[in-house]
Amino acid sequence: MRIYLDCIPCFVRQALEASKMATRNKNKQEKVLKKVLSEIGKTSLKNKIPSDIAHKVHRIIRKMTGNNDPYKKLKDQCNRKALRMYPDLKQKVAGSKDRLLTATKLAIAGNIIDFGPGSEFNLEKTIEEVLVQDFAINHFNRLREALQKSEKIVYLGDNAGEIVFDRILLEELKDKEITFVVKGGPIINDATVEDAKFAGIDKIAEIKTISNGEPGTGPKRNSKEFTNFLKSADVVISKGQGNYEALSEVNANIFFLLKVKCPTIAGDIGVKIGGIVVKQSC
């Protein structure tokens, strides 16, 4: 997905929120915000995707505040809360008429745990709503069929806390070779290897990392190396808005699972805010 002008105010809001989490020093917060505004103003948006700018913004925040993981406390809170909910989530799947459908919807409900578009959400309410909600884009039967035929699955995780909901879905994909992809370093509340292990993902899948915008944290999400890796899988399950932004035009067998929280993505994908989506890329 190409970057839109409407993305720019969101990057500025993220910079302000993250700088406040990174430091209490208001002078540093002001300097961060001014530096972000300056860098965005100098950056051409041509041929850019949103993560290109997001990586630059959060690199500035980390460098200028000296805080490598401003969202660490929030991520830990979300991980712990989601794990407390895990037994109940498993019961919802066990008691359902269609285990895979319920597990898929729960994975999508977990996508509400996202501090990129904003920090206001009600997790419990979202779960109940999503379980009875119709898909705004419904390629679920295609996903079911693809999973039945697949041996090698790549699952692109999104956020801390949310990955416990991903675990619910992963546990329904028995006897598959699964690679679970997270960020190689902190950015916003995106899940890292540490989060994935805390959620128990390492017990059911191999963990691989992609870049958070810093060297040495993994291949870039839209790099040839990574897209070739995606193409080598029978099925790719891509969680969340950020992965959709980066990979919506990649020619691989990708199924995007997300809850739409951003008006720009809503317009790009053609659904209303609040819609839940299972969308095959090709």
User: What's the CATH superfamily of 72-280?
Assistant: Uncharacterised protein PF01937, DUF89, domain 3 (3.40.50.10880)
Q: What are phi and psi of 154, to 5 degrees?
A: -110, 130
Residue pair 89/163 in contact by the 8 Å Cβ criterion: no
Q: What is the pLDDT of residue 93?
A: 98
Residue pair 216/209 in contact by the 8 Å Cβ criterion: no
Instruction: Give the number of other CB atoms < 10 A from CB of residue 14.
Output: 21
Q: How many helices (H) and strands (E) does the chain have?
A: 12, 7
239/109 Cα distance (integer angstroms): 11
Question: Tens-of-pLDDT digits for all 282 residues of the chain?
Answer: 888 898 999 999 999 999 999 999 999 999 999 999 999 999 888 888 888 899 999 999 999 999 999 999 999 999 999 999 999 999 999 999 999 999 999 999 999 998 766 656 899 999 999 999 999 999 999 999 999 999 999 999 999 999 999 999 999 998 899 999 999 999 999 999 999 999 999 999 999 999 998 989 999 998 999 999 999 999 999 999 999 999 998 999 999 999 999 999 999 999 999 999 999 996
237/67 Cα distance (integer angstroms): 32
Q: What is the pLDDT of residue 16?
A: 94
Q: What is the pLDDT of residue 4?
A: 87
Q: Which residues contact 199 (CB under 8 A, 6 or more apart)?
A: 79, 82, 83, 163, 164, 166, 167, 191
Q: What is the pLDDT of residue 119?
A: 58
Per domain, the residue ranges of the chain are 7-65, 72-280
